A and B are shown apart, each in its own frame.
Chain A
Amino acid sequence: MEFEAVIGLEVHAQLATESKIFCGCSTAFGASPNENTCPVCTGMPGVLPVLNRKAVEYAIRTALATSCTVQRRSVFARKNYFYPDLPKAYQISQYELPLAIGGHVDIELDGGTKRIGITRIHMEEDAGKLVHEGEFAGAQASLADLNRCSVPLMEIVSEPDMRTPEEGGAYLRRLRDILVYLEVCDGNMEEGSFRCDANVSVRPVGQAAFGTKAELKNMNSFRNVEKALEYEIRRQIEVIEDGGKVVQETRLWDANAGVTLSMRRKEEAHDYRYFPDPDLLPLIVPDEWVKELRGTIPELPAEKVARLTGRYGITKYDAGILASARALADFFEASVALYVGNPKTTANECIHWKDAILGGKLSPETIAHAVEDRESGAISATASKKLVELVLETGKPIRQLRDEQGLTQVSDAAALNAVVDRVIAASPKEVESYRSGKTGLLSFFVGQVMKESRGKANPKVVQEVLKKKLG
C-alpha cells in the first residue's frame, strides 16, 4: 500500500518589539538571569497586564502579508497550568477568538507553486525557562530565569496542506522570509525567536480521512524539521504496516539520535481551563488601523523575485538569492541604479559579496564602479575582485585604489605593440610551431604578454594584436 503524509505546522514567532507584551521590560536576548523582569511579568500579587500596541501592530502586519482576515474583535484568554517557569500559573493567549484567520502563503516547488493555507494567527506571551544545577537526573536545584516571561509571540497555524517534508521546509523558509521582510521577527531559530511544532499523520493514498496525528516538538532548525518529519512519517507507516495503530501523542525530536520519542499521550493531556482573561478587555482593531498598516507592507519575497527577473532580465535563481534578504535586493537595485550596464554582472557581484553587503561593509557605489570599470575594459575581472577586497580592507573608494595600485588595464593596441613584438622576438620556436598549425599556443603568448605588462594589459586586446602579428 502506498501512503501519503499530511502535515500541518504551528510556528511560534517572537515579535521583534523592544518591550514585552504586557509590561515595559526589555525583550533583549542574552541578559543575565531575571534582569529583564518586573512585578508584572513575574506574577506578583495584584499586578495587571497592559497590552503592547506595537506587538499587535506587528501581528496585524503579518496577518496582512499572509492574506489573513484581521478580526475586528479578538479575545485574550488564560491557559491555566502549574509550572515554575510560568509565574502567574497561566499563560495569556488568544484562544477562541484569534487576531486573524483564513490566509495563505505560496511556496515554490520543483513542479511549480503550491498554496499553503493559514488557519489562524494569534498572539500570546512566552514563558520563562528553568536551569538545572548539575545533571538533570541528579540535579540539586532548579533555577528559574524569567527573562523570557511575557516576551511577545505570535502563533501561526497552517492548514494540513503539506504532503512531504520538503513542502514543510519550503513553507517554513517562505514564512520566515516574510516575517524577516516585515521586520516583525528576526527569524533566528537557534535563539528561539522562530520555533516550529509539526502535526503529522499518514494515510493510504486516495483516502480522504486523516490518519491519527502525532505532534512533534523540539526541532530547532529547518533541516531538523525536515529530518524529524521524514523520520516520523516513516515511523508511522511502519507502525501501520506492522498491523499497529498510530496513537495520538506529543513526540520530541532527538536531533542527536535522529528519532522522535513519545513525550505524552492524549489521555495525559492537560485540561487548561481556558477562559477569557478578565484583566484585559477584548482587543478591538478598527478598520482604519488595518488600512493604515496595509500601506506599510513592503514588497514580499515572491513579488520581488518576479519583479527582479522581469525588470533586470536576471535569472530566477539569482533573483531568489537576491530576494532572500531584503537588504541584499535593495543593494542590488541601488547598484544598478548607479550603473545599469548588464544587470547580470551586478547580480553576480552582489551574490559573490553577499556576506559583506549584508554586514554593511560595502556600498552600492563600490559594486557599481567595479562593474562599470570591468565592462568598459578599464580593469580586468581579477583586478576587480582584488580591488573589492582592498575596499573591504582599507575602506578607501574603489577608484582611488584602482589608480593607487595602477590596476588600470592597457587596452590601447598601439601601446601593446612593443610588448607583443618583444615577446614574439624572444620565442622563435613557439612562433614557428604556432605558424605551422599549433594555434593552441596563443594562450602561451597571451600569458607572456601579460607577464611582460605586469598584468596591466587587457587580455582581449592582447589576443587580437597577437593574432594579427602571428597570423
Chain B
Amino acid sequence: MAIAPVHEWTLLEAARRVREGEVSSRELTEALLARIAALNPKINAYLTVLPERAMAQAAACDEERSRGTIRGALHGVPVGLKDIFCTRGVRTTCGSRILHNFDPPYDATVTSMVLSAGAVLLGKHNMDEFAMGSSTETSHFGVTRNPWDLSRIPGGSSGGTAAAVAAAMCFGGIGTDTGGSIRQPASLCGVVGVKPTYGRVSRYGMIAFASSLDQGGPITRSVADAALLLSVIAGYDRRDSTSVDVPVPDYLAAAGARVNGLRVGLPREYFEGGGLDPAVKASVERALKALTDQGATAVEVSLPHTSYALSTYYLVAPAEASSNLARYDGVRYGHRAEGSAGLIEMMSRTRAEGFGAEVKRRIMIGTYALSAGYYEAFYGKAQKVRTLIREDFGKAFGQVDVLLTPTAPTPAFRLGEKTDDPLTMYLSDIYTIPCNLAGIPGLSVPCGLSAEGLPVGAQLLANHFREETLFTAAGAIERAIPLPRVAPITG
C-alpha cells in the first residue's frame, strides 16, 4: 500500500513518525508550508503564516530528538491556532480591524500548552470577528472558503481552523466555541470538532467573546487526533478562576473503546420543525444505525426548553460581549482613530472604525439587555431560562450516556447567502447553542455527504466532564462510516 502524501497523515500518525524518526519535523513543516503557500490564496484560512518561526521550531525539535529529548505528545508536529489565542510576539487580531496591529506580550495558556507539548506553530487562523458569526464572513480580513466547495462558506466562527484542517494545511488546530463555533464549521468542513466542558480548557489569553460560554477545543481530521489534542490542552489553570481541577482521563483510549451497552438519547425537539435538511437528517440516522449496530441502544428523550435556547443565547452572549469588548477604546493598544479633537471623539471613532457591523449589532443588543430597567426582563430572565436548559440536560443524562443530534441544520451554504439576514444566520447554531448554555461537552463527527457531496456532521453531547464518552461514540461512528479525511479542493 502506497504511503499517503505527508500532509494527509493524521496528527497521531505524524506525531508517531517524528517520534520514531521516520520523518523529520522539518520535512513535515516544509510540506505543510508548501501546502499553505499553494492553497491559502484560494481558501484564506490563515491570517498569519510563520514560515521562519515554524522552520526554526522544527529544526529545534529535530535537534532535540537527535539528543533523545521529546517535549511531549506533539513533538515536531505542525499545527495552527485560531487567531483568538494570544501568541507572544505574533500578531493576534481576533478577526478584527480594532486589533489589526496587536502583538500580545504573553501567550494564552492554550498556546503555551500546545507549544510545550512540542508542536510547531504554522500560523493563525481566520475567524469571524470576535468569534461572532457562523460563516467566517464577518472577518475584517476577508472570508475563508470551504475547501469542499470554494463557493461556499466553511462555517464559523472557527471557519479558518476547520478549513485549514480539512484542506490539510495543518495536522490539527485549536478553535473556540461559544455557541457552536467549533462544531458547526467542523460539520460543514467534514472534520472532527470538540467543545469541551466549560472549565475543562483554560480561557486565559483566549480573547473573550462571552465569558460564561467560551471554550477552546480541538479541530482535527480524526476522532483519535481530537482526543490527543484535547488531552494536551485540558486541565486546571490557576490563571482562570473558572477552570476546574478535575483529572484529565485517557481520551485516546476512550476513542478506541466499544459502544456496547451505550445508551444513546435522541432529543425529540432536535428533529422536529422544518429547518432540518433531509440530507442531514438521513446522515444523522446513519450515525445512529452505526452506533446501534455496534451494541448501543437508542432512547428518545425530551429537552423541553430547547426552543428558548436561541433567544436566551442572544441575550447572554451579547450582554457579556458588550462588556468584554468595551476595553477596545484606542487608549492602550490596537487601532486608534486619527485626528480626533478629544477623548470621547477618539474612543467613539476608534470603535466605529474598528468594529464591523455584526460586532456592533451584538454590542448594541447586549448594552440594551443590561440597561437599568431592562436588566431583569432580559438578562435576568435569560439566566433563569439558562438554568432550566441546564436542568433539561441533567434529567436527560439520568436516562442516557450520550445525546445524538444534527450539528447544523444544513450543509455549507453559499458565500453571501445569509449575510443580509442575521436571524437566518443565527439559526445555523440552533443545535449547538444549548450545549454552551448548559456548559456540557459537545463534539461534531462527520457522518455523511449531501447529494452535492458536501460533508454533514453528527453532534454528540455528554454530561459535564464526560468527554471520553463523546470520543467513544464518535470513534464508533467514524469507524462505521468511512469518509474522505481531506477535502477535495473543488469549486
A contacts, CB < 8 Å to B: 39, 42-51, 78, 80, 82, 84, 87-90, 142, 144, 271, 273-275, 278-281
Cα-based distance from A87 to B275 in the complex (angstroms): 43
Cα of A144 to Cα of B279 in the assembled complex, Å: 58
Do the beta carbons of A46 and B326 come within 8 Å of each other? no
A47 touching B205 in the complex, CB below 8 Å, given contacts A84-B343, A273-B367, A281-B241:
yes
Contacts known (A47-B205, A51-B241); A87 close to B323, Cβ less than 8 A: no
| Contact of A88 with B327 in the complex, beta carbons under 8 Å | yes
Given A46-B108, A84-B343: A279 and B242 interface contact (C-beta under 8 Å): yes
In the complex the two chains form, is B241's CB within 8 Å of A39's CB?
no
Kindly name the residue among B108, B238, B326, B371 whose own CB sees the greatest number of chain A CB atoms within 10 A: B326
**Are B104 and A45 in touch, CB under 8 angstroms?**
yes
Chain B, 365-391, CB within 8 A of any chain A CB: 367, 370-372, 375, 379
Other 13 A-B pairs with CB < 8 A, given A46-B86, A46-B204: A44-B104, A45-B102, A45-B104, A46-B108, A48-B241, A84-B331, A142-B343, A273-B323, A273-B370, A273-B375, A274-B375, A275-B323, A279-B242
Contacts of A278 in B (CB 8 A): 210-212, 242, 320
B 324-376 contacts with A by CB, 8 A: 326-329, 331-333, 343, 347, 367, 370-372, 375
When distances are taken between beta carbons in the complex, the residues of chain A under 8 Å from B206 are 46
* Whole-angstrom distance between the Cβ of A5 and the nearest chain B Cβ: 29
Q: What's the least CB distance linking A273 to chain B, in Å?
A: 4
Smallest CB separation, B400 vs chain A (Å): 29
CA distance A139 to B319 in the complex (A): 36
User: A271, B372: Cβ atoms under 8 Å?
Assistant: yes
Chain B residues whose C-beta falls within 8 Å of the C-beta of A49 in the assembled complex: 241
Using A50-B239, A51-B241, A273-B370 as known contacts, say yes or no to A45 and B327 having CB atoms under 8 A apart. yes
- In the complex formed, the residue of A with least CB distance to B331 is A84
Q: Which of B106, B240, B323, B371 contacts A271 (CB 8 A)?
A: B371
Chain A residues near B203: list those with CB within 8 A. Answer: 46, 48
- Sorted nearest first, the 5 A-B pairs with minimum C-beta distance are A89-B326, A273-B370, A278-B212, A278-B211, A46-B207
When chains A and B are docked, how far (Å) is the Cα of A33 from the Cα of B118?
38
User: In the docked arrangement, what's the CA distance between A271 and B370, Å?
Assistant: 9
Chain A residue with the shortest CB-CB distance to B92: A45
In angstroms, Cα B334 to Cα A42, docked, is 13
A251 vs B252: C-alpha distance when bound (angstroms): 65
Q: Is the CB of A48 within 8 A of B99?
A: no
Residue in contact with A48 in the complex, picked from B210, B239, B328, CB distance below 8 Å: B239
Return the chain A residue nearest B208 by Cβ: A46
The B interface is mostly helix, strand or loop, or mixed, namely loop
Do A90 and B208 form a contact, CB below 8 Å, given A42-B332, A45-B94, A82-B347? no
Chain B residues touching A, range? 35 or more
**Looking across the interface, which residue of chain B has its beta carbon closest to that of A142?**
B343
Shortest Cβ distance from A45 into B: residue: B207
Q: Which residues of B contact A (CB under 8 A)?
A: 84-86, 92, 94, 99, 102, 104-106, 108, 203-208, 210-212, 238-242, 319-320, 322-323, 326-329, 331-333, 343, 347, 367, 370-372, 375, 379
Report yes or no: A84 in contact with B205, Cβ–Cβ below 8 A: no
Which of chain A's residues has its CB closest to B108's CB? A46
Given known contacts A48-B203, A89-B326, A142-B343, A273 and B208 CB-to-CB distance under 8 angstroms: no
Given contacts A82-B347, A142-B343, A275-B370, contact A48 B204 (CB under 8 A): yes
A78 and B323 contact, Cβ closer than 8 Å, known pairs A46-B205, A46-B206: yes
User: How far, in Å, is A33 (CB) from chain B's closest CB?
Assistant: 13
Q: A44 contacts B239, CB within 8 Å?
A: no
CB distance from B23 to the nearest CB of A (A): 34
Q: State whether B323 touches A281 (Cβ < 8 A).
A: no
Instruction: Determine the chain B residues whose CB is within 8 A of the CB of A50 once the complex forms.
Output: 238-241
CB <8 Å contact, B327 and A87:
yes
In the complex formed, the residue of A with least CB distance to B330 is A84
Q: Are A80 and B326 in contact (CB under 8 A)?
A: yes
What are 29 inter-chain pairs, A to B, with CB distance below 8 A? A39-B106, A43-B332, A44-B86, A44-B106, A44-B333, A46-B84, A46-B85, A46-B205, A46-B206, A46-B208, A47-B205, A48-B203, A50-B239, A80-B322, A80-B323, A82-B326, A82-B329, A82-B347, A84-B329, A88-B326, A89-B329, A142-B343, A144-B332, A273-B370, A273-B375, A275-B323, A275-B379, A279-B242, A281-B242
Report B472 CB to chain A, min CB distance, Å: 30
Interface centre among A47, A49, A142, A280 (most CB of B within 10 A): A47
Bound-state CA distance A341–B327 (Å) is 66
Determine the distance from Cα of A278 to Cα of B198 in the docked complex, in whole angstroms: 12
Q: Which residue of A lies closest to B333 (CB)?
A: A44
Query: With A and B bound together, what is the CA distance between A82 and B329 in angstroms?
Result: 8
Chain A nearest Cβ from B100, distance in angstroms: 13
Q: Given contacts A87-B332, A271-B372, are A45 and B105 in contact (CB under 8 A)?
A: no
Write the chain B residue with the least CB distance to A270.
B372
Kindly list chain B residues whose C-beta atoms are within 8 Å of the C-beta of A82. Answer: 326, 329, 347
Docked complex Cα distance between A89 and B332 (Å): 12
Contacts of A43 in B (CB 8 A): 327, 332
Chain A residues positioned under 8 Å from B204 (CB to CB)? 46-48
Report A-chain residues with C-beta under 8 Å of the C-beta of B242.
Answer: 48, 278-281
Q: Which A residues are CB-close (under 8 A) to B86? A: 44-46
Residues of A within 8 A of B333 (CB): 44
A367 to chain B, nearest CB (A): 49
What is the CA–CA distance of A289 and B206 in the complex, to the nearest angstrom?
Answer: 34
For the complex, what is the distance from the CA of A45 to the CA of B322, rounded to whole Å?
Answer: 14
Closest to B351 in A: A82
Q: Are B241 and A273 in contact (CB under 8 A)?
A: no
Give chain A residues whose Cβ lies under 8 Å from the Cβ of B106.
39, 44, 47
